[in-house]
Amino acid sequence: MKHIVKIMALLVALSAIWISLLQTSVLPESYTWLLPLYSIVTLGCYGLLMVGIGLMRFPTCPQESLLLQEDIVEAKGFLKEKGVDIGSD
Shorter beta-carbon distance to another protein: residue 7 or 37: 37
Query: What is the nearest approach in angstroms of another protein to the Cβ of residue 3?
Result: 22
Closest residue by Cα to residue 38 from 18, 9, 12, 16: 18
Read off the DSSP letter of residue 26.
S
**Dist CA 29 CA 6 (whole Å):** 29
- Min dist CB 20 to another protein, Å, is 20
Nearer to another protein, 12 or 50 (CB): 50
- Residues near another protein (CB under 8 A): 30-31, 34, 37-38, 40-42, 45-46, 48-49, 51-58, 60
* DSSP at 57: T
